[in-house]
A = this chain, B = another copy of it.
Amino acid sequence: MNIIKDTLIKVKGFEFSAMHSGVKRKRRDICLVKCAKGSISAGTLTTNISRAAPVEFTAKSLKKKNVSAILVNSGNANACTGIKGIENCKEIIKKVSELINCEKEEVIISSTGIIGKQLEMNKILPSLPILKKNLSEKNIDLLPESIMTTDTFEKKSSIRFESENLNFNISGFSKGSGMIHPNMATMLAFVFTDVNIDKNLLTKATKEIVEDTFNMISVDGDTSTNDMFLVTSSCKSKNNKITSENEEYSIFKESLFMIAKDLSIMIARDGEGASKLLISNIIGASSKENAKLLAKSIISSNLVKAAFFGNDANWGRIICAMGYSGAKFSPSNINLNLSSKKGNIELMKKGIPIDFLEDKALNILTESEIEINVELKEGQYNATAWGCDLTYDYVKINGEYRT
């Protein structure tokens, strides 16, 4: 199983199109996906109580047996928009269902962009027939750009799996929580596959995978009103339908995990103003829950994030962040080291700091990808979390006055 990075491979049973509606100044800002009859979706939505209007509709659609169309717009999140925001969703869904010729409940919609402004319906509605007209399998490569807000690069990843009795394609893309323009904040990820699988199993795999991927990244700890991770399968692959957790299920789930992990890491790497990707690995915790709490707490600490911006091997802040994570562990068990392409440096053994060469540490930490490795020897549970450093640009980006 190898990840294909440069381009998104076609996936049987899906047609795509994207265009510039005018909601955003320049770039493509709206896209449509038509799913073959019998397509199924599984997803996880934001836990934020202030859910945006489109998220409410998507929550309902996910309960339906099938999905027929997915419409995503960027530039406006349709969040905190009250009754009017709901009505706009209804109107868009109605138009899409007419164009695709499907039930309204089989349309999934998603928005990202400014909060608190009504959708520019005069730009979105006229775009829908054009999107319909341009649907094609190969247009999938246009979609990553069309959902970007302040992302600095497209985030996409594909896997093709071929064996005697199992063949499938997976293509996914995501966007990070860029917030350069005030009131923007969302993580979106869409994955398309053609594997033939039972909907309950697709849902199970999706929910389990999100726990170890998208839920383990943090840019600034803020959970958006619009976050969505959606996995859709056309079930058009010729494999015997996966209806139990057999070997085929494991292979597909592993592929889906690789895609989700790749898409999550790209979001962390592209965090606002970030100059470094931080990876914290907890090894040997007493429970999975503790391992996750510790890994997440380290990469979420402002003090840790600022220290790495300063290329500072500041183990004290790492220990401190572990201490208030809520996880149970014994500080006297901690072995801690930092590593990068340039090498590895030990900072702590059994909870006691080790003298280290500042020059060696500095040389290792100037890399753009740093691993924080913590060994606890308290059990066999591990966890990894991904984040980024805290930089002047983060403050500039988010402190900038709206104009």
Contacts and interface: CB of A to CB of B under 8 A. Distances in A.
Interface of A: 47-51, 79-80, 82, 114-116, 179, 182-183, 185, 220-225, 301-303, 306-307, 309-312, 314-317, 319-324, 327-329, 331-332, 348, 351-353, 358, 362, 390-392, 394-402
Contacts of A82: 332, 351-352
A352 B221 contact: no
Contacts of A47: 324
Given A80-B348, A225-B323, 15 more contacts: A47-B324, A48-B324, A50-B323, A50-B331, A79-B316, A80-B351, A80-B352, A80-B353, A179-B303, A182-B307, A185-B303, A185-B316, A220-B303, A222-B321, A223-B324
> Which 8 residue pairs of A and B lie closest in terms of their CB atoms, listed nearest first?
A310-B399, A306-B398, A50-B323, A183-B316, A115-B316, A48-B323, A223-B324, A116-B353
Contacts of A320: 48, 50, 115, 185, 222-225
A222 B220 CA distance: 14
Given A319-B80, A322-B49, A398 B222 contact: no
Given A179-B303, A321-B222, A116 B316 contact: yes
Given A116-B316, A303-B220, A353-B80, A322 B50 contact: yes
A83 to B, nearest CB: 9
Identify which of A79, A114, A224, A317 gathers the most chain B CB atoms within 10 Å of its CB.
A317
Contact of A399 (B116, B220, B353, B390): B390
Nearest to A221: B302
Given A319-B50, A320-B48, A303 B222 contact: yes
A309 B183 contact: no
A314 B391 contact: no
Contacts of A223: 320, 323-324
A318 B396 CA distance: 18
A185 B400 CA distance: 29
Nearest to A117: B353
